[in-house]
Amino acid sequence: MADIKIQQALDQIKILQEQVRASNERARLAEERAKIAEEKLKNLETCIQRFQTEITQLHQSQGPTSASHSTSVMQPIVDRQIITEDNISQLENPDPQAKYIKLDRVGDLNRKATALKDVEHRSISLNKAISEGIHRVEVRFEKCNSGGLIQGAVGIMKADNKIPYPCYPGWKMQKQIMLYYYGGDGDVYYKETRSSNNTKFYDGQVIAMELNADVGTLHFFVDGIQQPIFVSGIFQAVKFWFYIQNKESSFSVVSVKKLAIPTAKTLSKEKALQW
């Protein structure tokens, strides 16, 4: 009799164990489906952002509709003053004798910086202090990739800061006044805070910063895609600046513009880093 009860108990245990395994398997499958759904959502958000950027650029580049092409359909009116090219701002060389940093002219302005000689920390800023309006700068790095990572960064700093040579933004004094988005890991650094979730960037990509000084925000873009980590609370004059390290590495300022309206949008998973 006892043997029968023991066997019944063992059979019941097996049944329960099978139910537990089945439940765990269902949970695993549900988790995988959730991850797939989250990845699809992320890809959709990226596509939507890309299309929004393309639409904005098309609107901004569209001129007034010619009378010879008028139809019964109302044509959108595009303000030609929506974008103003900044033909004044240029790079400042923190190395006065130009032994370690060479500035080259693009057009009539110093807008390319190249690292000379040894591997060293080089931070170079634009000379324009910004305290109002919406300003966008785009840069492209070259020969900065090293070991699969880029030794390059972009950011803003307090306008009254005079960059020394050499200068690493993570040094104790500098990180109190220099905020940066580092391409090697995609993180944004300021003071003692490190915020993750932006994408890494590499040589050849166009990296943009859009500073809306009217509302105190800074947004980052990689090849036109807005990044989720942005900066808020910027209510003082600042300058754009850039970082390179390796010998012969360089960056070029592709464009500097003042916008009438911001291109940055609200993202579902955005996160603000406080200035």
**pLDDT (0 to 100) of residue 43:** 58
Residue 62 has pLDDT above 60, yes or no: no
Range list of β-strands (E), the chain: 83-85, 91-92, 101-106, 109-115, 122-126, 134-142, 145-146, 149-150, 152-158, 178-182, 188-190, 193-195, 206-212, 217-222, 225-226, 229-232, 238-244, 250-259, 271-274
Q: What's the Cα-to-Cα distance from 244 to each of 71, 247, 271, rounded to whole Å? A: 53, 9, 26
Domain count, the chain: 2
Predicted confidence at residue 16, as pLDDT, reads 78
pLDDT score for 8: 76
| Residue 261 domain flag | yes
Q: Is residue 73 part of a domain?
A: no
Which band of pLDDT confidence, cut at 50, 70 and 90, is reported for residue 148? confident
Check whether residue 223 and residue 249 sit in a common domain: yes
In whole numbers, what is the pLDDT of the chain averaged over residues?
A: 85
Higher pLDDT, 216 or 69: 216
C-alpha separations of 125 from 61, 69, 238 in Å: 29, 46, 10
Q: Over the stretch 11-48, which tens digit does the pLDDT of each residue have?
A: 778 787 877 777 787 777 777 666 666 656 655 666 56
Instruction: Of 94-98, 121-125, 241-245, give the lowest mean pLDDT range.
Output: 94-98
129 with 172, same domain: the answer is yes
87 and 60 in a single domain? The answer is: no
- Answer yes or no: do 137 and 93 share one domain: yes
93 and 222 together in one domain: yes
What share of the chain in percent tops pLDDT 90?
Answer: 62
pLDDT at 244: 96
In a domain, 90, yes or no: yes
Tokens of 142: 């070259």
Q: Which one has a higher pLDDT value, 67 or 176?
A: 176
52 and 94: one domain?
A: no
Q: Do 49 and 130 sit in the same domain of this protein?
A: no
In a domain, 209, yes or no: yes
pLDDT of residue 262: 95
- 61 and 89 in a single domain? The answer is no
In this prediction the pTM is: 0.70
Residues 57 and 164 in one domain: no
Q: What is the pLDDT at residue 243? A: 97
Same domain (yes/no): 110, 141: yes
- The predicted-structure confidence for 189-207, as pLDDT tens digits, reads as follows 999 999 999 999 999 999 9
The predicted pLDDT at position 225 comes to: 96
At 102-145, the pLDDT tens digits run: 999 998 999 999 999 888 899 999 999 999 999 999 999 999 99
